[in-house]
Amino acid sequence: MSAATAFRALVRKDVLTFVRDRRALIVSVLTPILIAAFFGYLFGERGGGERGRLPVAVVDEDGSPLSRAVGAALAADPMLEVEPSAAARARAAVGAGRLRASVRLPAGFGAAARRALVGGGPPAPVELLYDPSQSMVKAVVAGLLTEHVMQAAIGELASGAPEAVDATLADLRGNARLDPGLRADLVRVLEATRSLGTRPGAATAARGLAPPFALADVPVSAGPAYNSYAHAFAGMSVQFILFMGIDAGVAVLTQRQLGLWRRLRAAPVSRRTLLAARATATLLIALGILAAVYLVAGLVFGVRIAGSPAGFVAVCVAFAAFTAAAGLFVAALGRSVAATRGLATLVVLLLVMLGGAWVPSFVFPAWLQRATAFVPTRWAVDGLDAMTWRGLPAEAVLLPVAGLLAVALVLGALATLCFDWESDA
Partner 1 sequence: MSLAVADLCKRYGAVEAVAGVSFEAAPGAILGLLGPNGAGKSTTIGLIAGLLRPDRGSVRIAGRELGGDADPAKRALGLVPQELALIDELPARVNLEIFGALYGLAGRELRRRCDAALDAVSLADRAADPPRQYSGGMRRRLNLACALLHEPAVLLLDEPTVGVDPQSRHAIFATLAALRDAGHTLVYTTHYMEEVEKLCDRVVIIDHGRVLADDTVARLVAAAPGGETLTLDYEPAPDAAAVAALSMLPGVRSAALEAGRLVVSCTDIGAAAPRVLEQLAARDHHCRHLESRAPTLEDVFLSLTGRSLRDP
By the criterion CB under 8 A, which residues form the site for partner 1? 1-3, 5-6, 8-10, 12-13, 16-17, 20-21, 258-260, 262-271, 273, 422, 424-425
Residues 69-105 as b/e (b if ≥16 CB within 10 A, e otherwise) read bbbebbeebeebebbebeeeebbebbeeeebbbbbbb
Q: Are 348 and 370 in contact (CB under 8 A)?
A: no
Strands 80-84 and 54-60: parallel
* C-alpha atoms less than 13 angstroms from C-alpha of 97 in its C-beta half-sphere: 3
Is the CB of 8 or the CB of 53 nearer to partner 1?
8
Is the CB of 223 or the CB of 249 nearer to partner 1?
249
**Which 3 state secondary structure label does DSSP give 99?**
coil
CA distance 326 to 320: 10
Is the CB of 98 or the CB of 271 nearer to partner 1?
271
Give the long-range contacts of residues 118-124, CB within 8 A, separation 24 or more.
Answer: 118/168, 118/171, 118/172, 118/186, 118/190, 119/178, 119/182, 119/186, 120/171, 120/172, 120/175, 120/178, 121/171
Is the CB of 260 or the CB of 284 nearer to partner 1?
260
Is the CB of 174 or the CB of 268 nearer to partner 1?
268
Q: Smallest distance, Å, CB 29 to partner 1?
A: 17
CA distances, 256 to each of 96, 102, 222, 261 (Å): 54, 61, 50, 5
Q: Smallest distance, Å, CB 262 to partner 1?
A: 5
Q: Smallest distance, Å, CB 22 to partner 1?
A: 10
Q: Smallest distance, Å, CB 335 to partner 1?
A: 17
Helix (H) or strand (E) holding 72: helix 65-76
Is the CB of 17 or the CB of 369 nearer to partner 1?
17
Q: Smallest distance, Å, CB 403 to partner 1?
A: 33
Over its C-alpha atoms, the chain yields an Rg (Å, rounded) of 32
Is the CB of 20 or the CB of 335 nearer to partner 1?
20
Q: What angle do CA 49, 53, 56 make, to 5 degrees?
A: 165
Is the CB of 13 or the CB of 89 nearer to partner 1?
13
Q: Smallest distance, Å, CB 6 to partner 1?
A: 5
CA distance 319 to 242: 9
Q: Smallest distance, Å, CB 289 to partner 1?
A: 18
CA distance 300 to 74: 39
Q: Smallest distance, Å, CB 417 to partner 1?
A: 16
